[in-house]
Amino acid sequence: MHRPQHHAADTLAQNRRHHELLVEVALHHEGQGDAERVLRSVLLAANHAWTAPVGLLSDLRLERAVVHAVRGAGTVTVDGGRRTGRVLHVLSEAYATGGHTRQVCAWMARDGRRADVVLTNQRHPVPERLTAAVRASGGELHDLRPTAPLLLDRARALRAHMDRADLVVLTVHPYDAIALAAVNLPGVRPPVVYANHADHTFWLGVGGADVLCDWRTHARALGVGMRGVPDERIGVLPLPVDPVAPSQDDELRRTLGIRPDAVVAVNVSADWKVAPAWGRGMHTVLDRALRWSPQLSVVLVGISATAEWARLAKQYPGRVFPVGTVPDAAPYLGLADIFLESYPLRAGTTPLEAAMAGLPVVALADLPPEDPAHIFHTTSPGLDARPAPTTVEQFTAAVRRLVQDPELREREGSAARAEVAALHDGPGWRAQLEAIYEQARSVPAVDVDDLVAAPDDDRYGVMLVCANPVTRSVDPRLLTGSLGDLCDAEMQADLFAVLEREAGSSLGLRVANGWEHHLEWTTRLLGLAKTHPRLRVSLPFASGDDRQGSRTSACLLGMLSDLGQTPEECGDINVEGTVPPLAGPSISEVLPFTPDSLDRLEQLLSSPLWSPTDRTRDRLVGSAAGAR
């Protein structure tokens, strides 16, 4: 039943090819001593590896490029003795909705210390929830992007904020090169805790984590085995979860059309978490549960009414309700008698919130522990000790028992609430927080040069590809949004060159009609063709020309003469009456007759990434061997 999808191996191979080329770009800039461009290229490479699985969960080549670029010959030490009662939380970007922003707010509210927040790459309005949480703690919020456009400047500004804190907590995006750089700037700094909120996928920051803070115990094996994190640098802190007391909402029940006598099961998830990843999706699992429990109705929050769910709703009229994305899932928990974990990929915070609301939680875990996908069937402390069905039949039976027995629902819900509350809230959670802080104070500063790179794992990579909502390899140039204006002409040229060079040794350009009326522009283009032999220019006939191209030849010869060139030495210039197919690398758009367009073309032609230098090639091969 659990088989990789047919596209997975090819997609993984293409993703990995792109990754190696992006690593080459980063190493090239490291070799040039350009720290700013190291940060930009590493940010893009990490964003790609996070978005498009490559068979790695970390890459010390990228991390060392950042660390060496900013640390130089200096050293970093940790001062674990600071006790001023001040903690700095670092986020790449905060959102009005989204788990990790909510987790940081809950962390700050429980900590009792003054909490400052720094945002390294905020591209949207700062959510009021975060602002209010910082204000309530007596702290300050700092948004670096408006005042420090360059990544290196943001890293230095972040380090200055770090130096005012007792402890630093990084809850950053998997591509955050700024945080990694700030942690590794030379000098004395406070201990750093890295919140592992993306434990199953690639992220950048192993070399910036004095202690890796896992949300669930099952992530440790990935941290050690596929990231190379020393075991003594790993701790576990359950997700902070607020008590939930949802009230019954009869109006919502009537609006959905749920029968008065129905027992309601709620799932809160996302389309990609319930879609078939390894053979079957959640709609297949629920089909059997609905068949064997006629009183059961299912409300799916965050799930779109796709064809699969439409068919299931038609098969079980008035019992299946995919309601799509909602601003607040709490009212839907108020409808619920049972909470169903998503399948085949589990959710994060919502099952804990459901348990805190006193709901019994049912999850299907039908992947054996030795399967690489098993991480997706593990859960957080408080729920992970509870037995989970391992077959669809057992899942169906567990749901049926709860549907038929309200007292069982009450007992199971109360037990789940007590177990989750003991670890995810109150004194129990705070004791674990203090243990994490003390662990971070007790270890020396992490040094990326002391770490041993973990191996790549194609089997795990294929599994991640199957779990990814994007089913084909993504062109890295589509993932530059996090860089904004910093993806400038030079970076665009380097990316084009490194990603396109395997397609051919020349760069094709088709010139628009009317070039003969733009003497200065076309003359400069011809000069570029002479200077850069890789440029292949296709010129249409001049307007009104005869079949022999007499006017075209005259115009072209005149321009070449002005340049002191002859047709034999002018470069690869072709006059073609019809639009030819441009094989190999080419510029598909028609360039406007402006100086800027030729500036961009010259930048593109001048990129050193059209062919790797011997030094970069040697370092790439050597570091790749070390990364395995």
Q: What CATH code is carried by the domain that includes residue 357?
A: 3.40.50.2000
Q: In terms of domains, do 180 and 219 share one?
A: yes
Q: Are residues 329 and 354 in the same domain?
A: yes
> Residue 148 domain-assigned?
yes
Same-domain check for residues 134 and 194 = yes
Rg (CA), the chain: 29
- What average pLDDT does the chain have? 91
Residue corresponding to tokens 């115009």: 555
pLDDT higher than threshold 80 for residue 422: yes
| Distance (Å) of CA 550 to CA 528, 543, 544, 555 | 24, 11, 10, 9
Lowest mean pLDDT among 178-192, 202-216, 247-261: 247-261
Same domain? 48 vs 118: no
Q: Domain for residue 625, yes or no?
A: no
Reported confidence tier of residue 628, pLDDT bands at 50, 70, 90: very low
pLDDT 10s digits, 494-547: 999 999 998 888 899 989 999 999 999 999 999 999 999 999 999 999 988 888
- The one-letter amino acid code at 160 reads A
Task: Kindly state the percentage of the chain with pLDDT values over 70.
Answer: 95
Phi/psi zone of residue 324: left (φ > 0), alpha (ψ -120 to 50 degrees), beta? left
Statement to judge: residues 181 and 92 lie in one domain: yes
Q: Does the residue 254 lie in any domain? A: yes
Q: What is the pLDDT of residues 272-322, one digit of tens each?
A: 899 887 778 999 999 999 999 999 999 999 999 999 999 999 999 999 999
Distance CA 121, CA 91 (A): 8
Q: What is the DSSP letter of 300?
A: E
Residues 437 and 493 grouped into a single domain: no
- Asked if residue 484 is part of any domain, the answer here is yes
Q: Where are the beta strands (DSSP E) in 452-506?
A: none
Question: For 573, phi and psi rounded to 5 degrees?
Answer: -115, 125
Q: 502: which DSSP letter? A: G
Whether residue 502 is found in the same domain as residue 420: no
Over 70: is that where the pLDDT of 162 sits?
A: yes
627 lies in a domain? no
DSSP letter string, 508-546? EEEPPTTGGG-HHHHHHHHHHHHH-TTEEEEEPPPTT--
Residue 580's pLDDT is what? 63
Would you say residue 108 has pLDDT above 90?
Answer: yes
Percent of the chain with pLDDT over 90: 72
pLDDT in tens, 347-364: 878 999 999 999 999 999
Count the residues in the chain.
628
Q: Is residue 225 part of a domain?
A: yes
Residue 417 lies in a domain: yes
**Are residue 232 and residue 105 in the same domain, yes or no?**
yes
pLDDT digits (tens, 9 = 90+) for 410-421: 999 999 999 999
Predicted confidence (pLDDT) at residue 623 exceeds the cutoff of 60: no
Interval 572-598 mean pLDDT: 82
| Total structural domains within the chain | 4
* Domain assignment of residue 288, given as a range: 250-424
Higher pLDDT, 245 or 399: 399
**Rounded Cα distance, 553 and 542, in Å:** 9
Whether residues 300 and 276 share a domain: the answer is: yes
Are 61 and 146 found together in one domain? no
Residue 364 lies in a domain: yes
| Residues 344 and 372 grouped into a single domain | yes
On whether both 209 and 286 belong to a single domain, the answer is no
